[in-house]
Amino acid sequence: MVQYILTPWRDRAELLAVRRQFYPDAAPQAQLRPGHAGQHDAVARVSLWMQRGGCPHLVEVAPVLKKAIESKDIDLTAIVNTHHHWDHAGGNKKLLQDLNLAKLPIIGGVQCEGVTRTPAHGTSFQLGSIAVKALHTPCHTQDSICWFLQDGDDKAVFTGDTLFHGGCGRFFEGNATEMHKALNETLASLPDDTVVYPGHEYTKANVKFCISVLPSEAVRKLEAFAEANKETQGKFTIGDEKQHNVFMRVEDPEIHKATGESEPVAVMAKLREMKNNFKEPASKI
């Protein structure tokens, strides 16, 4: 049995390959990415590519999925959302309508479009050989859920707009207390070798802020990687984030100096305020 899950996109080369195969005369925003998950199971990630200022191109995703389903190359078993914002959960119903799969489960927060199941915090379910655990992380939205996946020794967490490489989401529906708990208790408790898949590619912008607050070796390594690579999603672990993400270093004395705060929640609040108002230093050239 082959299982499928909807997740953020991560590899532009694979995205372009799908474009060439299915839409040679257009510019579709669809990606079909298969990968082995276990001895008897496999996982594929069907991803929605978001252009800046754009919207999910579900009308283009559906034909890709439909062809694979009809050829029995895949068995689409669920849509999994991280939170209700339109660029993550918008179009759930339309996609299932186009696929003639109206009864397929939509798993996510209570506000996600068409959601049929919201697992409680800490509960798990199976996708083939993969154990999926729901980690409720309210703040960016109150229905934000990060998804921890484990298949044998392989571990990953899909963090939506809660945790980014070198950053975190804005506190649209929550506060610093909630984000501190989400990052430095819930996600920080995961194994350090858990690979992080954020919902957006914001690393280059994030690391510029991190450098301004904590110009450490770990942060400079992240900066160098971001400058050398167009895509960074899935390239770093929870252990890495604890080293280079200032929002996960609220106990660091250097960050206390930069923020003028020392209590963890106060540090988190000040960091978010500073990030919201941050302007990249002008070039010296």
Give per-residue pLDDT as tens, 122-135: 999 988 788 999 99
Under a CB-based contact definition with an 8 Å cutoff, are residues 248 and 241 in contact?
A: yes
Is the pLDDT at 2 greater than 60? The verdict is no
More confident site: 6 or 41: 6
Structure tokens at 182: 């989400």
What's the pLDDT band for 64 if we cut at 50, 70, 90?
A: confident
* Number of helices and strands in the chain (H, E): 10, 13
6: enclosing H helix or E strand: strand 2-8
Is the pLDDT at 1 greater than 60? The verdict is no
Give per-residue pLDDT as tens, 265-274: 999 999 999 9
Domain boundaries, the chain: 2-201
Under a CB-based contact definition with an 8 Å cutoff, are residues 116 and 145 in contact?
A: no
CA distance 256 to 262: 5
Is 136 part of the annotated catalytic residue set?
A: no
Q: How far is CA 258 from CA 3, 179, 242, 253, 254, in A?
A: 47, 19, 18, 9, 6
Mean pLDDT calculated for residue range 24-37:
38
Catalytic-labelled residue, pool 83, 84, 165, 244: 83
Own/partner contacts of 215-223, CB < 8 Å, gap of 24 or more, are: 216/243, 216/244, 216/254, 218/243, 218/244, 219/166, 219/244, 219/246, 222/165, 222/166
Under a CB-based contact definition with an 8 Å cutoff, are residues 138 and 144 in contact?
A: yes
Catalytic-labelled residue, pool 57, 143, 151, 161: 161
Give per-residue pLDDT as tens, 200-224: 999 999 999 999 999 999 999 999 9
Q: Which CATH number fits domain 2-201: 3.40.1190.20, 3.40.50.1820, 3.30.70.360, 3.60.15.10?
A: 3.60.15.10
- What pLDDT, on a 0 to 100 scale, did the predictor assign at position 16? 52
Is 88 part of the annotated catalytic residue set?
A: yes
- What pLDDT, on a 0 to 100 scale, did the predictor assign at position 180? 99
Is 200 part of the annotated catalytic residue set?
A: yes
Catalytic-labelled residue, pool 57, 88, 136, 165: 88
Give per-residue pLDDT as tens, 103-121: 899 999 999 999 999 999 9
The amino acid at residue 153 is: D
Catalytic-labelled residue, pool 140, 165, 180, 244: 140
Under a CB-based contact definition with an 8 Å cutoff, are residues 64 and 73 in contact?
A: no
Is 84 part of the annotated catalytic residue set?
A: no
Catalytic-labelled residue, pool 87, 98, 252, 256: 87
CA distance 281 to 285: 12
What's the pLDDT band for 42 if we cut at 50, 70, 90?
A: very low
- Nearest CA-CA partner of 179 in 132, 245, 124, 80: 245
More confident site: 251 or 74: 251
- Nearest CA-CA partner of 269 in 175, 206, 187: 175
Is 240 part of the annotated catalytic residue set?
A: no
Structure tokens at 254: 């250097």
- What pLDDT, on a 0 to 100 scale, did the predictor assign at position 142? 96
